[in-house]
Structure 1
Amino acid sequence: MGPEAAQQDRYCMEAVGRLAVEFGGVVSRRVVTTTVLEARRDLEGRIVPEALAEMLHRLAHHRLDRMRANT
């Protein structure tokens, strides 16, 4: 799943949009997109589809927050 895949997945688009604003001064939009896509891949098939949007945002946020803490 490449960056263009985020544009085709509504959940990824929403998560990237919100997280790019929140972490904009810390990491690039490309890093946010990559983090969201990796989180999406890690969650695929592991949770019920109804929870995907929330869990995707939470997991990607957690990973980006760790990046922020390490800078």
Structure 2
Amino acid sequence: MTVHDHWTDDITGEVREWLSREFATSLPESAVDDIVLAAHADLDGQIRPDAMGEMLHRLARFRVLRALENR
């Protein structure tokens, strides 16, 4: 595992925890995890690595909100 991979894993974990807490009463943690992981996969290699944290949070939060609207 490279340093970059470890850093990316840390960012993904932070976003998962943050959004899981924010939406704990609305969506199961496993659903938030799936959304964050899918958003990370979509962003990986498409943006600068140093922007991953912010962009991942924004995209995943948008997708969580969209999922809640479609319930």
Interval of TM-score (by shorter of Structure 1 and Structure 2): 0.7 to 0.9
Q: Which residue of 1 aligns with 2:70?
A: 70
Query: Displacement, 1:67?
Result: 1.1
TM-score (normalizing by structure 1): 0.85
Q: Tell me whether 1:45 sits opposite 2:49 in the alignment.
A: no
Percent identical pairs in the alignment equals 39
Number of residue pairs aligned between Structure 1 and Structure 2:
64
Gaps of 5+ in 2: 1-7
Q: Which residue of 2 aligns with 1:33?
A: 33
Q: CA RMSD in A?
A: 1.2
Gaps of 5+ in 1: 1-7
TM-score (normalizing by structure 2): 0.85
1:22 & 1:15 partners in 2: Cα distance?
A: 10
Q: Which residue of 2 aligns with 1:23?
A: 23
Larger Rg computed on CA atoms: 2
